[in-house]
Amino acid sequence: MVRGFGLVAGGVLLGGLADLGTARDAGADSGPTVYTRADWGAQPPRRAGRILDHRPDHIVVHHTATPNVTDYSMEQAFALSRAIQRYHMHHNGWNDTGQQFTISRGGIVMEGRDNTLPAVRAGRHLLGAHVAGHNSHTVGIENEGDYMSATPPDTLLEALTHTCAWLCLRYGLDPGRAIVGHRDFNATNCPGDRLYGALPRLREDTAALLAALRQQLIHNDRSVPGFPDIPEENIPSYPDAPVGEVAVEYHHGPV
């Protein structure tokens, strides 16, 4: 488990600590509390996760299309990560779980694909398998639940905001441009109408938290990465969402 900091953004307390000064170095290991693959009992990958020599330029929000459980326990969260990995490896035939991070309805943040945390700390991109044609430049976050008609719980949204702010800080991303839904790249309903509708607020809350984190780095005389230019081929194409798409647990559309 990697413990992180807390901060107030958009009137919501994130991570349990209100004083930014209590955070560990935001340029290194601080961020949300992230449970590692060892914590949730991951199977070994068929091949080690591939770290690319560049940083990503988008964060893609997904939903798992699984039941909206009321069990917010750590045991449920860890079981979710194991179930996703089994499906991705044994049904899809992939090397490992596809996404870089998973967040439970209880707000528990977990490392996904092998080598994700080392890649983030190095400011590099870990190649995933979660969005067709764009895995080379996107970080995927799976959010537990089905949000076509249900509203995501605050516990999940708070953890998602915290995670996005940390990733934007590490990679020098602008939340207003970087945070997108799976349907912005591929013809799918993922991450569901209600979670997709929450993305504007997610971008605003992430930007507020990120601004405080960047200011803290400046105060501590640490470098702050600038926002990168996004190549035209990496910009979302915003295809129409399909009508009558069958929801399959853990599938979440084209990958």
What would the two tokens of residue 47 be? 């091949």
Residue 84 above 90 pLDDT? Answer: yes
Average pLDDT score over residue span 110-132: 95
CATH topology of domain 36-41+50-226: Lysozyme-like (3.40.80)
Residue 21 above 50 pLDDT? Answer: no
pLDDT at 213: 85
* DSSP tag of 230: -
17 pLDDT band, cuts 50/70/90, is very low
pTM for the predicted model, two decimal places: 0.84
Alpha helices in 74-150 (DSSP H): 74-86, 116-121
Average pLDDT, the chain: 84
Q: Which residue has the higher pLDDT, 77 or 23?
A: 77
222 vs 16, 195, 214, 218, CA distance in Å?
25, 35, 9, 6
DSSP letters for 128-195:
-SSSTT-TTSEEEEEESS--SSSPPPHHHHHHHHHHHHHHHHHHT--HHHHEEEGGGTSSS-TT-HHH
Q: Are 180 and 133 in contact (CB under 8 A)?
A: no
Task: Fill in the amino acid letter for 106.
Answer: G
Q: Which residue has the higher pLDDT, 31 or 21?
A: 31
